[in-house]
């Protein structure tokens, strides 16, 4: 997928903080956070152990070593039941 | 990370097995673990008629789908607890799943049985979860016996089993330690009970459910008070991260070397079971637990709140 930067004339986007969006399940929380380089770092930031959640981008599963790009939309589903 | 089998990009990383797999190879790994779990503990064969308890969660649905893919004779059983909000959602998930995959399903409605869980909760003087658990076990056993199923299967995974084993061990509960495991022989009128996902973690089952496109139910029951094993599961996640493979070792070691010893110790004081005088269900009392819950509901008409006497 190509990202076309929507630049407003005169504005320097390079200085804007790069973020990612995370949808957290099952709580159904939507959060925006600064981009981390890898899936593992995103999970660490959120205090989630890698073997307790699945991470999905564009309908596909990601392992913790995968790179995260600015503007990525991740679905993180915590899978440890309380039962 | 590359798939260990085919070197494609991995989609599931499994530190406990020191490996990672692409989607196809992971599904193959999952199938082999289920088959190995069945063979190693001689859970059942292709001649058995298997009743699978379907709650609507990812574990039970994954179990059902995988057993049917492996060609076993499976029928699902869903207990509709009649809890507003959560029960219709869970039932809908189970019904759509069985429809989609062309699987047999039996639904038992607790509302029609006069055992709707909200009524039980309103009229019993003790936590509803123990009564609810008793009712579910009753209908699993009874359906298995009435409809001549030879095995009753549940979706308990390795994490469930480890948490339970750990809790039993902390209390040195000899009676529970003597018969915990993925294979409980038919006994005293009860159907044989098995847990074919015992080698697979909750994480592995979740990946399977995702890759197989299983829609599942995760709206919690409104009466759930935060289940008791959550803390043990957390402890074991930490331990497993430090010592990958520990969970399966601990559980297998128990089955091979621990359980037989506890079973011998517990043999002396077994209880005699006979049929409930009302419904025929195996019980150590004259009237079984569920018939007593029915009595309690009948004796307290709707609206009669307040203090209750437990007989
Ligand atoms: S949490 Fe809900 S469904 Fe589970 S045992 Fe308790 S009442 Fe029953
Ligand atoms: Zn592969
Ligand atoms: Zn009875």
Supply the CATH number for residue A35's domain. 3.10.20.30
In chain B, domain spans: 38-270, 273-305
On the question of pLDDT at A45 being above 60, the answer is yes
In a domain, A7, yes or no: no
On the question of pLDDT at A2 being above 50, the answer is no
Q: Give residue B217's region: left, alpha or beta (phi > 0; psi -120 to 50).
A: beta
Q: Is B14 exposed, middle or buried (0-12, 13-18, 19+ CB in 10 A)?
A: buried
Pairwise pLDDT comparison (B217 vs A30), residue with the higher score? A30
pLDDT at B87: 95
pLDDT at B301: 57
Domain that holds residue A27: 16-78
pLDDT at B91: 96
What's the CA gap between B263 and B65, in Å, rounded? 33
- What residues of B are in the A interface, CB distance below 8 Å? 1, 10-13, 15-16, 20, 23, 57-59, 159-160, 201-203, 206-207, 210-211, 218-220, 224, 226-227, 229-230, 233, 237, 240-241
In this structure, whether the domain defined by B38-270 belongs to CATH 3.30.70.1290 is answered with no
In a domain, A29, yes or no: yes
In a domain, A33, yes or no: yes
Question: How many folded domains does chain A comprise?
Answer: 1
Do A79 and B58 lie within an 8 Å CB cutoff? yes
- What is the pLDDT averaged over residues A3-21? 62
Going by C-alpha positions, the residue among B123, B117, B125, B120 that lies closest to residue B85 is: B117
Distances (CA, A) of A13 to A1, A10, A34, A45, B29: 20, 9, 15, 25, 46
On the question of pLDDT at B264 being above 90, the answer is no
Strand partners, B77: B53, B106
pLDDT at B270: 58
**Residues of chain A positioned with their CB less than 8 A from the CB of B57:** 81, 83
pLDDT at A48: 94
* Chain A residue nearest residue B156, CA to CA: A83
In a domain, A52, yes or no: yes
pLDDT at B179: 85
On the question of pLDDT at A8 being above 60, the answer is no
Do A83 and B229 lie within an 8 Å CB cutoff? yes
What's the CA gap between B261 and B269, in Å, rounded? 15
pLDDT at A1: 44
Going by C-alpha positions, the residue among B88, B10, B17 that lies closest to residue B56 is: B88
In a domain, A59, yes or no: yes
Residue B207, number of CB atoms within 10 A of its CB: 27
pLDDT band at B311 (very low <50, low <70, confident <90, very high): very low
CA of B178 to the centre of ligand 1 (A): 26
- What is the pLDDT averaged over residues B149-164? 95
Residue among B13, B16, B57 minimizing CB distance to A64: B13
Q: What's B190's DSSP letter?
A: B
* Tens digits of residue pLDDT in B14-49: 998 889 999 999 999 999 999 999 999 999 999 999
Going by C-alpha positions, the residue among B192, B113, B125, B204 that lies closest to residue B159 is: B204
Q: What is the mean pLDDT of chain A?
A: 85
Three-class SS of residue B127?
A: coil
What's the CA gap between B284 and B288, in Å, rounded? 8
Q: A70 with A19: CB under 8 angstroms?
A: yes
On the question of pLDDT at A21 being above 70, the answer is yes
Nearest residue by C-alpha to atom 1 in ligand 1 = B224
Q: B38 with B44: CB under 8 angstroms?
A: yes
Do B218 and A26 lie within an 8 Å CB cutoff? yes
* Tens digits of residue pLDDT in B185-194: 887 778 899 9
Q: B59 with B202: CB under 8 angstroms?
A: yes
Q: B26 with B207: CB under 8 angstroms?
A: yes
pLDDT band at A80 (very low <50, low <70, confident <90, very high): confident
On the question of pLDDT at B303 being above 80, the answer is no
Instruction: Report pTM.
Output: 0.89
Q: What is the mean pLDDT of chain B?
A: 90
């Amino acid at each position: 997928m190509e990202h076309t930067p929507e630049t407003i004339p005169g504005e320097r986007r390079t200085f804007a903080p790069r973020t990612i969006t995370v949808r957290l399940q099952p709580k159904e929380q939507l959060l925006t956070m600064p981009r981390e380089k890898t899936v593992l770092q995103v999970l660490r930031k959120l205090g989630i152990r890698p073997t307790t959640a699945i991470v999905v981008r564009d309908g596909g599963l990601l392992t913790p070593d995968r790179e995260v790009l600015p503007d990525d939309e991740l679905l993180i589903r915590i899978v440890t039941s309380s039962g | 990370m590359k798939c260990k089998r085919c070197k494609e990009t991995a989609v599931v990383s499994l530190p406990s097995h020191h490996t990672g797999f692409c989607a196809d190879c992971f599904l193959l790994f999952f199938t082999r673990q289920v088959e190995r779990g069945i063979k190693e503990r001689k859970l059942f064969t292709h001649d058995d008629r298997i009743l699978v308890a379907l709650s609507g969660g990812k574990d039970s649905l994954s179990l059902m789908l995988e057993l049917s893919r492996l060609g076993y004779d499976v029928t699902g059983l869903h207990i509709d607890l009649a809890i507003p909000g959560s029960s219709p959602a869970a039932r809908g998930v189970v019904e759509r799943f069985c429809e989609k995959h062309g699987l047999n399903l039996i639904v038992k409605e607790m509302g029609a049985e006069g055992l709707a869980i909200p009524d039980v909760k309103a009229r019993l003087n003790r936590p509803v979860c123990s009564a609810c658990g008793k009712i579910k076990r009753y209908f699993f056993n009874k359906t298995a016996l009435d409809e001549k199923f030879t095995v009753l299967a549940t979706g308990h995974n390795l994490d469930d089993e480890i948490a339970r084993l750990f809790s039993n061990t902390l209390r040195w509960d000899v009676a529970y330690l003597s018969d915990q495991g993925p294979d409980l022989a038919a006994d005293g009128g009860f159907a044989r009970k098995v847990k074919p996902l015992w080698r697979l973690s909750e994480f592995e089952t979740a990946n399977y459910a995702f890759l197989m496109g299983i829609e599942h139910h995760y709206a919690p029951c409104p009466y759930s008070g935060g289940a008791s094993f959550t803390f043990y599961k957390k402890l074991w996640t930490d331990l497993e991260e430090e010592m990958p493979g520990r969970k399966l070792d601990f559980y297998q070691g128990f089955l091979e070397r621990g359980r037989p010893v506890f079973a011998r110790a517990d043999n002396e004081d077994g209880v005699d079971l006979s049929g409930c005088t009302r419904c025929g269900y195996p019980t150590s009392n004259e009237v079984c637990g569920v018939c007593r819950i029915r009595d309690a509901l009948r004796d307290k008409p709707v609206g009669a709140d307040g203090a209750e006497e437990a007989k």
